[in-house]
Chains A and B, each alone.
Chain A
Amino acid sequence: MVRLPAWLGALDRKLLRDIWRLRSQAFAIALVIAAGIGMVVMSFGMIRSLEATRDAYYDRYRFADIFASARRFSESLVNDVQSLDGVSIAEGRLTSNGTLDIPGIAEPITTRIHSLPRVGGMPRVNALVLRSGRLPNPVRPDEVLASEKFADAARIGLGDTIEVLLYGKKQRLRVVGTALSPEYVYAIGPGQIFPDNRRFGVLWMGEEHLAAALNSSNAYNEVLIRLEHGAVAPEVVRRVDNLLERYGGRGAAPRSDQISDRFLENELSQLGQMTAILPPIFLGVAAFLINMVLSRLVESEREIIGLLTAFGYRNRAIMWHYAKLALVLSLPGLVLGLILGSWMGRGLAGLYQEFFVFPFLTYRAGSDVFLISCLITITVVLIGAAQTVRRIGRLKAAEAMRPPVPPNYSGGIARLIGKIRKLDEPTRIILRGLVRRPLRSMLGSFGVAAALGLYVASAGSMDNVGMMTDLLFHQANRADISVSFAEPRDERVLFELERLPGVMRVEPVCYIAATLSAGHRSRSESLTGMKRDSDLNRLVDIDDGLVQPPVKGLMLSTILAKQLAVAPGDRVEVNITEGRRPHLTLPVRSILKSPVGNPAYVDFASLGPLMRETPLASGAYLSVDPDQADALYRKLKAMPIIAGFSQRAAALNGIDETVGETMGIVTLFNTAFSALIVFGVVYNNARISLAERARDLVSLRVLGYQRSEVSYILLGELALIVIASLPLGALFGYYLSQYLASSMSGDLFVMPFALSTATIAFAILLVLMTAAVSSLFVSSRLNRLDLVSVLKTRE
């Protein structure tokens, strides 16, 4: 026996020895608490770290508060914007899309090029973090900066030359440095939802040289605005819109509409929602386990409690003794959870850097997160212990010291079980055991069901993402390649594309910048013109499958319809912000539950009359003979009109690599956690059943029952609890998964709910296997019970 220090009081010595005796159950509880607290620390800490990093990054590198773009405007307009009330800095720049030809990569790569100011070279708004090399020399027209992740992924080193096709002209550029920008924390190319650093990169080059390349000297097409403290953003947006109207303005947008910031914000809110759902499940189970263990302990220590009372211990002291026991019992779980959470937090920060690029991202939980975790643990423990501790307070000394009478089983249901003649007695013991403590049996089932549901929900999110990928890349987008044009072109360009090697089919698509408004609500959104009966790019509704764009009028995504508060039949004001800039009023014909983005669709054929010009295509979908792909890429790289390029297979690959991997890790964690809960609940249930039934079971062994027959009684009860939990857990998992899917859906995408039966079946298998393993543990203890000593002792 461990020697305890002399200053420790008798009750505290008892406490420590009790814990030692209960160590295996304490271990199971610790694991469940650790899982819950670990998640709290990980996600709270992660939210904190992300927010702090984002705020510092945005602030230090002066991330724009408002973004505005137009076809072309002069320096003096930037000065007009600068002089608006509330504007702190206004900076003009040129931005263009292009394609890159990089040695060793067959397909063209989409790039976005921003200008760097003539003076100083470093933007005052959206300042860059120079990661390597230097800023381009203003007198060298060919020098550029490349975004760091892209340079890494495409293996572009400092001094390397890349060929860019910009505004119809091929240019050779030399990379002299790599940089990060607060504008590209989440860097996605046109039409992407996940970053693919190999196929989308950002370049920065000197203003004069970019202007020359774009035939746009002394002009800008974007203005970035930093606001003064307390400035009213919507008001500034309105004024900027007015100023840019004449210059082909495409609508100014506040930071909250900027794509990178939106994704980051979306991630933070998802993380917050996960934190609100998952840890409470773990901690609820932990409270239940503590309740179980403690109430069993108190039951078996009635005489000791009576004795203590008889010796003059106050009720309060005895109650505190057991409450303290529960607290000490949870301590290892808390410590383990803090360590585990910090470790997982660091791991998660690493994962985040796959998607979100910060100059620095250190996971730091902070002492307040630790403090909150401690408070949560204490609360959970006290909730778990409350009922039992209160019962101690009511126990009278004399009553406690009286030998326990046999528990009363003569209730109605127990009698009913007696009426079923076909049952054998061991089965009767199992059933009466269950109905005598219905609450405990039910809670046991709930505990296992929670674990099952947790697994279903987390593995189910893989199903959902799988469905999302299927919707996007198999049902909607079936084109092998999609290209976007440097500027809108009439349909002749399609014939040109059709004649390229390996091209089997070409379909046009048209994006038109527009502001849609209904009443006082308004959104800047592009209108997408789609051909009816299109084969390569189809409209897919999450619930209804394939649909067609309406012949006349608009089809809005559910997200956009909600933002504008319109329904089919309502009319929407559409202000086209390009071409002849017509102002239209169009009826909403239908609503599309679309997985991604905020689209508003019109029939491609109706565009001409609407725009009052021949219909133009802004891009095209191509189906391609894979054998001739390389020849096609060579041609495309040389076509001035091509400003963007994406390959379906590559996009799918990218999703598998980044998203699949990340979700895989998260699912692995959740699987382990679910197994922990099942183990914790089943093992504790079994240990307590064993303790309560030891005498019965050993008596039966003495009376000639075989080990297997006795194990049947012990494990049969557990089996029933587990079996009852299966439908419950599957149902819980179903709804939890659905909830998680809807909580992941924001104004960026709608996560389809696609839980598969295979996932549920696997979850059930997992629970059964974990239950079987914990049963093995317990039945090995049963086999080790000493027949003689159990009989000699009164319970």
Chain B
Amino acid sequence: MAGPALSRSPQDESLYIIRGLTKVYGEGPTAVHALRGIDLELPRSAMVVLLGASGSGKSTFLNIVGGLDEATDGEVFFEGQELTAFGPAELTEYRRNSVSFVFQFYNLVASLTARENVSLITEIADDPMTPEEALALVGLEKRIDHFPSQLSGGEQQRVAIARAIAKRPKVMFCDEPTGALDSQTGVIVLDALDQVNRELGTTTLLITHNVVIADMADRLLRFADGELVEDRDNPHRVAPSELRW
């Protein structure tokens, strides 16, 4: 991966270093400031929950850090590499090798079975798990040959999680992964994410509207009006199964 590198120092143990991250949509009087200079460091293997109302900037933040969108100003360093200086091809490589996504609406390919949806990723990854392993991790080993049309919403989302973890990413981005699910199913999905985070040490950034979910995280980031208004650690992480909403 090209891009200017920071000089290595002990504090670089952080996975992400973010400086003055700013995103403005449009120009002049109609310009919308989605992010107004975010400064942040994120350590490896953490479970981070991003909270905030609609339009608070949390999704924009996730999109830029996830390599889907470009910043207007500021810098994002990933493992010492300046992500904000990457071109489209390097961003593709970044998404391909280092990070993973779970979406609110699952985004499974309807014409592929659960196993094949996971293979979609394992085929292009360097050191993936087998699709079977990944699906077993989310408890779907019995539904492996089912098509999305034959799976419930929660099951589809767990396939999506299996698909995300199968390449052993360093980071997993989850944008409202339980947004389309009822609470019972939501808990099962969160359980899968929690398990992946604990067992594989995958850094997980999870966007949610649901404050309760923050209790399962190591750290909580709250966004409002494009700014980071709250950043606190949660020393007493609870299991998803204990969450109620």
A interface, CB within 8 angstroms of B: 405-410, 414, 418, 424-426, 428-429, 432-433, 436, 695-696, 699-707, 709, 787-788, 791-792, 794-795
Contacts and interface: CB of A to CB of B under 8 A. Distances in A.
B110 interface: yes
Interface centre among B66, B97, B119, B147 (most CB of A within 10 A): B147
Given A425-B120, A699-B107, A704-B124, A406 B112 contact: no
Interface stretch (B9-17, B76-84, B98-106): B98-106
A787 B119 contact: no
B139 to A, nearest CB: 20
A702 B101 contact: yes
B240 to A, nearest CB: 24
Contact of B63 (A405, A704, A788): A788
A418 B93 CA distance: 28
A425 B95 contact: no
B72 interface: no
A704 B97 contact: yes
B124 A702 contact: no
B69 interface: yes
Contacts of A409: 110-112, 147, 149
Nearest to B93: A704
A176 B12 CA distance: 107
Nearest to A783: B88
A426 to B, nearest CB: 8
A695 B160 CA distance: 14
A436 to B, nearest CB: 7
Contact of A410 (B96, B124, B150): B150
Nearest to A411: B147
A407 B110 CA distance: 6
Contacts of A696: 107, 109-110
Nearest to B175: A791
Nearest to B100: A703
B113 A418 contact: yes
B116 interface: yes
Contacts of B109: 425, 429, 696, 699-700
B107 A406 contact: no
B111 A704 contact: no
Contacts of A406: 108, 110, 147-149, 156
Contact of A704 (B69, B96, B105, B117): B96
B9 to A, nearest CB: 30
A436 B113 CA distance: 14
B111 A432 contact: yes
A695 B107 contact: yes
Interface string B46-75: 000000000000010001001011000000
Interface centre among A407, A410, A425 (most CB of B within 10 A): A425
B123 interface: yes
4 interchain residue pairs of minimum CB distance? A704-B96, A432-B111, A699-B107, A406-B148
23 contacts: A406-B108, A407-B149, A409-B111, A409-B149, A410-B147, A425-B112, A425-B116, A425-B120, A428-B111, A428-B112, A429-B109, A432-B112, A695-B107, A696-B107, A699-B103, A699-B109, A702-B95, A702-B101, A704-B124, A706-B89, A709-B124, A788-B68, A791-B107
Contacts of B63: 788
Interface of B: 59, 63, 66, 68-69, 89, 92-93, 95-97, 100-101, 103, 105, 107-113, 116-117, 119-121, 123-124, 145-150, 156, 163-164, 175
Nearest to B176: A792
A165 B172 CA distance: 101
Contacts of A707: 92
A703 B172 CA distance: 11
Contacts of B111: 407, 409, 414, 428-429, 432-433, 436
B61 to A, nearest CB: 12
Nearest to A407: B110
Interface centre among A409, A414, A707, A795 (most CB of B within 10 A): A409
A705 B96 contact: yes
A702 B160 CA distance: 13
B163 A706 contact: no
Nearest to B118: A425
Given A405-B149, A436-B111, A704 B116 contact: no
Nearest to B117: A425
A788 B110 contact: no
Contacts of A788: 63, 68-69
A747 to B, nearest CB: 58
Given A429-B112, A703-B121, 12 more contacts: A406-B147, A406-B156, A418-B145, A425-B119, A428-B116, A432-B112, A700-B109, A702-B66, A704-B92, A704-B121, A706-B92, A788-B69
Nearest to A696: B109
Contacts of B113: 418
B94 to A, nearest CB: 8
Contacts of B116: 418, 425, 428
Nearest to A431: B111
Contact of A703 (B95, B112, B150): B95
Interface centre among B69, B96, B97 (most CB of A within 10 A): B96
A788 B149 CA distance: 25
Contacts of A426: 120
A706 B94 CA distance: 11
Contacts of B145: 418
Contacts of B147: 406, 408-410, 414
Nearest to B94: A704
Contacts of A405: 149
Contacts of A429: 109, 111-112
Nearest to B115: A418
B75 to A, nearest CB: 20
Contacts of A408: 147, 149-150
A752 to B, nearest CB: 50
B68 A787 contact: yes
A710 to B, nearest CB: 10
Given A409-B110, A425-B116, A436-B111, A703 B149 contact: no
Given A406-B148, A410-B150, A701 B107 contact: no
A407 to B, nearest CB: 5
A418 B97 CA distance: 26
B47 to A, nearest CB: 21
A700 B120 CA distance: 9
A41 B103 CA distance: 55
Given A407-B110, A418-B113, A791 B119 contact: no
Contacts of A706: 89, 92, 96
Contacts of B95: 701-704
A426 B63 CA distance: 25
Contacts of B96: 703-706
Contacts of B93: 704
Nearest to A695: B107
Contact of B103 (A433, A436, A791): A791
A429 B108 CA distance: 12
A399 B2 CA distance: 51
Contacts of A700: 109, 120
Given A406-B147, A410-B149, A410-B150, A703 B163 contact: yes
A706 B93 CA distance: 8
A703 B97 contact: no
Nearest to B88: A707
Interface centre among A406, A696, A704, A794 (most CB of B within 10 A): A704
A701 B96 CA distance: 9
Nearest to B145: A418
B124 A705 contact: yes
Contacts of A792: 59
